[in-house]
Amino acid sequence: MPKTLIAVLIALAASAIALPAAAQDFYRGKTINLIVGNAAGGGYDLYARLLARYMGRYIPGEPSFVVRNMPGAGGMVLSNHIYSQAPRDGLTLGMMSRSNPIEPLLGSSSAKYKSEEFLWVGTPSSYEDDAYCIVIRADSPVKSIADLKPGGQTLRLGGLAAGGSDTDLVLISRDVFKLNIQLIRGYRGTQELNLAIQRGEVEGRGIGVTSVANTFADWHRDGKLRFLLQFGHETRWKGLPDVPTARELATTPDDKALLELAELPFLMARPFFGPPEVPAAQAAILKKAFMETQKDADYLREATQMQLDISPRSGDEIAGVIKRIAQTPPALVARYKEILGSK
């Protein structure tokens, strides 16, 4: 073999070794900023702070994590910030509201981002051991969904000002099942909305069982809450065997398709993401470290104590869900938008 060719091969091999080594040393002594698009104290915040306590173990150089909150516009303040303003060096991550990836599809004027261009790091939960529900006070005269049919009871539910799963699924259920529901929006966070239920301002809300267990623990333990309808599963989740799923109650193919679209975000229930154009080496390190964290014994022990569902999906799997959302038929998108525009 000619000496010049050998020299070229040696140089290429050296550069192939040097690049990963440089990438792995990148995080040494650094701090990763993890920004949560929801208010402190809610379910998203709990997952983010749990991850921040352990993920650094699995990143070469063991960087520290700092968590802060950037709520607003149903999480889209953060999503827009990460897309257009956050540094693209692998030192800034976000935790997105699960409903945000679908907003560009719906033509939301607040969504100044393209979901497919984000770096998707992963989600610790895909709702395998959780369910999203319409939850009401147990002393409400409403005992089941059937009580809300025309001519029956009217239910007052609360929702966050900016919307999200707590409002979208209530509005879609109201339309699909023709329910007497009055949605009162404007609450600024989970804690404020839960207090409104306790005070009797509203009778209930849309919320995940994990969030109920963590933010509404006393009422949940004392049997002061009733679960009317569950989402995120085609068949009844084992934790709520007596509560019907929305899809089992749907009677037409169009209604089932609408509910399936509304439930797609639960496959990436707690998504962690980064800006577009993060260097490939840093992106690979972050995605790998995220999934390794999901197997950490201490992390899992603490998650169990916090009653958090850990059923992770990788960043590549989330990217696959984003593609599915983008392929939604236009007629279905139009109906979805019409419902969310209702009062």
Task: Check which CATH number belongs to the domain holding 56 and give it.
Answer: 3.40.190.150
Residue 216 lies in a domain: yes
**DSSP per-residue string spanning 250-316:** --SHHHHHHHHHHHGGGGGSS-EEE-TT--HHHHHHHHHHHHHHTT-HHHHHHHHHTT-----EEHH
Beta-carbon contacts of 2 under 8 Å, excluding residues fewer than 6 positions away, are none
β-pair type (92-95, 31-36): parallel
Kindly report the length of the chain: 343
Query: What pLDDT tens digit does each residue of the chain (343 aa) get?
Result: 455 544 544 444 444 444 455 666 899 999 999 999 998 988 899 999 999 999 999 999 999 999 999 998 889 999 999 999 999 999 999 999 999 999 999 888 899 999 999 999 999 999 999 999 999 999 999 999 999 999 999 999 999 876 788 899 999 999 999 999 999 998 988 889 999 999 999 999 999 998 898 889 999 999 999 999 999 999 999 999 999 999 999 999 999 999 999 999 999 999 999 999 999 999 999 999 999 999 999 999 999 999 999 999 999 999 999 999 999 999 999 999 999 886 4
For residues 189 and 245, membership in a common domain is answered with yes
For residues 203 and 306, membership in a common domain is answered with no
For residues 107 and 149, membership in a common domain is answered with no
Write the pLDDT tens digit of every residue in 77-86.
999 999 999 9
For residues 284 and 256, membership in a common domain is answered with no
Task: Check which CATH number belongs to the domain holding 138 and give it.
Answer: 3.40.190.10
Question: What phi, psi does 309 have (nearest 5°)?
Answer: -75, 125
Residue 27 lies in a domain: yes
Structure-token pair, residue 233: 């599963």
Residue 162, pLDDT score: 67
CA 317 from chain center: how many Å? 14
- Among 85, 81, 87, 128, smallest CA distance to 100 is for 81
For residues 106 and 195, membership in a common domain is answered with no
- CA dist., res. 96 & res. 197, Å (int): 26
Which of 231, 247, 265 is at the close of a domain? 265
Residue 342, pLDDT score: 61
For residues 146 and 244, membership in a common domain is answered with yes
For residues 155 and 224, membership in a common domain is answered with yes
Residue 182 lies in a domain: yes
- CA dist., res. 121 & res. 5, Å (int): 40
Residue 261 lies in a domain: yes
**DSSP per-residue string spanning 195-239:** HHHHHTSSSEEEEEHHHHHHHSHHHHHTT-EEEEEEES-SS--TT
Residue 17, pLDDT score: 44
Task: Answer for the pair 278, 119: CB distance below 8 angstroms, yes or no.
Answer: yes
For residues 12 and 97, membership in a common domain is answered with yes
Residue 263, pLDDT score: 93
Which of 265, 299, 317 is at the close of a domain? 265
- Among 167, 172, 147, 143, smallest CA distance to 157 is for 167
Residue 301 lies in a domain: yes
Which of 238, 265, 292 is at the close of a domain? 265
For residues 282 and 251, membership in a common domain is answered with no
Beta-carbon contacts of 306 under 8 Å, excluding residues fewer than 6 positions away, are 46, 50, 214
Residue 12, pLDDT score: 44
DSSP state of 29: T
For residues 120 and 159, membership in a common domain is answered with no
For residues 11 and 109, membership in a common domain is answered with yes
What is the span of the domain harbouring residue 235? 132-265
Residue 105, pLDDT score: 92
How many structural domains compose the chain? 2
Residue 338 lies in a domain: no
**CA trace torsion 206, 211, 215, 220 (10° rounding):** 80
For residues 91 and 176, membership in a common domain is answered with no
Residue 246 lies in a domain: yes
Residue 342 lies in a domain: no
